[in-house]
Structure 1
């Protein structure tokens, strides 16, 4: 089941980045400008954000399997429509549908884990998803670059449609219903909005959600500007930049793996605080040196590595702690987490580009701003927040923990 959920979580990052190497061919094939092709990426991210806000709460009402199966089926069909698009306008629309429906895999995978695990066990399982989410953006452009020659950009979208089909089969065969009927709400949209409003009135939930979303904002700020910073400012070759990018992705995923192995011993809150402290400290030093004009390449690379690697301690633990505060509305909680994450992703790219392509200052300011908000949410707002509400034991199904693993409340 974790394998199926990990694939469901990875399809959206793959669909985000796999077609990036094909942008030049797409501008020629669709007879459009670069901005038109870039719009297909923006609309996909907006689809991911809005889709989670809709599908997550629906899963609290109808259960997890039906929305997840429907979303993955539509995502596969949208991939085929992308491959057959005759104009950039059709492709933009199809990409929004692909993102909106593909959001089911992300938002419901988190909800399924929350249904089945207490906070400590959830942090370990969320760690698997975070590792998958860290590897996919690195693998995707490499796979797209290898595929664009033999199959073209349309073939890449057919590959994505095939992955969505595989995800559908994985959910169908391996993921049971994890939300029992007695735990679902029977109301309509009003009940859904009331539940989401209740989550937003919970200071602890809001704090952990801000920590999660804006910690990813640090990563997105780096991703959006790093190619210009390290290649234009520091004159790295494309190959050297690729190695640096892969090293940072390895740092994030390896820290996530370490977190998964030690969270049962230390608990999610101390590890979250450690990750946020490292993130905001490194971002502050990075920004200070950058604005002072003293940010040499070795320091820039080391500080970026530490700041992005600390996300491995933040993401899984913030997710586990946030969803633990919403045992009866895990789908809505997951939706708010994911919509903030991908909403920020859609906003960050144009913002970090405002300062030009030959300075690192916009990237460092964006990273520090996001890190400060994450720190404020995860440490300050949750400092004296009341304890999380726990679902009664008879409503909780078995966890993902192996026999003998210690549980951390």
Structure 2
């Protein structure tokens, strides 16, 4: 359901002198692509240079765990960037902050390419992530500006499909670029992507938050919004489910280069293909999720995703512990990772359901939990190195906790709805 009081971004006008826009589920295709690209900033930032992580460690004379910190600092930056930018967009609108964030992202990417010290690179990756966080939280808020819960879940599911293009393409491109360049060249590519997306966003993303709907009152309003969010058990619960569900994905993203290229001896190009196949699973399941939400609702779709993720991650641990080979391991990994496409959009939509007038702040809090939790957990558990059992344990812990919290939360929600 669209909000009639806001500018029309979701219909396809056919007024005189204008050509009808192509739409997907009622959303203009160009807008959907822009929002998807903004949502994909995290995967783009991390996945393009995933095949180069071992080479980066060798080139800078550092350890695998230290090179993983470049991934962690980016995720922490993405988390804090969303937390800071969210309230800003509630007060000043969505468009200007995202343009500034994209410009800073491109500049930080160029500086990353020039880095010769791992600590400098870690710091620049934090800045890069913080700038990219603006894009992620604004894409999320722009959807909530226009849609209620069930419709928002469908649109978020479509964005997962668009977002999945990034991890499908990025590691393949990164692996192929490594044939002709070294790891700094991949950061130059990220800078180019940032500039192109800046131009596309400036042209195709109109303001979605009218002046009259913006927050006033400065810090007082921010404290009020924060207090409302912290008192909302459903919001906190779905935020926890989102963060834990994404923990499966981030553990895989950060650890799999070392596990698959190290313990299972895949080369960079083969790893990129495996990563792309799993990303294609995210894409396919995300599209199925949009259909499932339309038929069964967001809660039922979330429940299904949590069960698949919990059971899949447990099966992955059993397979790794028993010494099963890649023939067994890769299909289970595919299923487990793909389940995140059912969890992310539905948990986000359900968490934002009652916070349309503070969507930026709420989205920032969700982003902080989503990226901050995984950004902290993965390096802590892999501080002494990464191996297949450790990756499987981390994914299983995230999947099991997400299933437990989500089951309790959805059961309470169902009882509340029946009592009304």
TM bucket normalised to smaller: 0.7 to 0.9
- 2:258 and 2:178 map into 1 onto residues whose CA distance is 24
Aligned partner (choices 343, 362, 381) of residue 390 of structure 2: 362
How many residue pairs get aligned? The number is 385
Q: 1:146 to 1:241 in 2, by over 3 A?
A: closer
Q: 1:338 to 1:387 in 2, by over 3 A?
A: farther
Q: CA deviation at 1:28?
A: 6.9
Deviations 1:242-292 (A, max 9, x none): 55433322222201011123322221111111111222223334445655x
Say whether residues 1:381 and 2:381 are aligned partners. no
Aligned to 2:282, what secondary structure does the other structure show? helix
Asked if structure 2 preserves the Cα contact closer than 8 Å seen for 1:220 and 1:348, the reply is no
Write out aligned runs for 1:10-409 (5 A): 10-23=40-53, 26=56, 32-34=61-63, 37-85=67-115, 87-227=117-257, 229=259, 242-288=272-318, 293=322, 297-353=326-382, 357=386, 360-385=388-413
Aligned to 1:329, what secondary structure does the other structure show? helix
State the TM-score, normalizing by the size of structure 2.
Answer: 0.81
Q: CA deviation at 1:297?
A: 5.0
- 1:116 and 1:350 map into 2 onto residues whose CA distance is 37
Q: CA deviation at 1:107?
A: 0.9
- 2:336 and 2:201 map into 1 onto residues whose CA distance is 34
- Aligned Cα root-mean-square deviation (Å): 2.9
Deviations 1:204-240 (A, max 9, x none): 1112112211111112223344455556666667666
Q: CA deviation at 1:14?
A: 1.5
Asked if structure 2 preserves the Cα contact closer than 8 Å seen for 1:203 and 1:385, the reply is no
Asked if structure 2 preserves the Cα contact closer than 8 Å seen for 1:207 and 1:376, the reply is no
Q: CA deviation at 1:342?
A: 1.4
Q: 1:256 to 1:14 in 2, by over 3 A?
A: same
- 2:240 and 2:36 map into 1 onto residues whose CA distance is 23
Q: What 5-or-longer segments of structure 2 have no aligned partner?
A: 1-30
- 2:214 and 2:405 map into 1 onto residues whose CA distance is 29
Deviations 1:37-65 (A, max 9, x none): 44333222221111111001211111111
- 1:51 and 1:59 map into 2 onto residues whose CA distance is 12
**1:391: which partner in 2?**
none
Deviations 1:136-159 (A, max 9, x none): 234222222333454543333232
Asked if structure 1 preserves the Cα contact closer than 8 Å seen for 2:242 and 2:343, the reply is yes
- 1:354 and 1:82 map into 2 onto residues whose CA distance is 23
Deviations 1:55-113 (A, max 9, x none): 01211111111211111122122223223445444433322211111111111101001
Q: CA deviation at 1:202?
A: 0.9
State the TM-score, normalizing by the size of structure 1.
Answer: 0.83
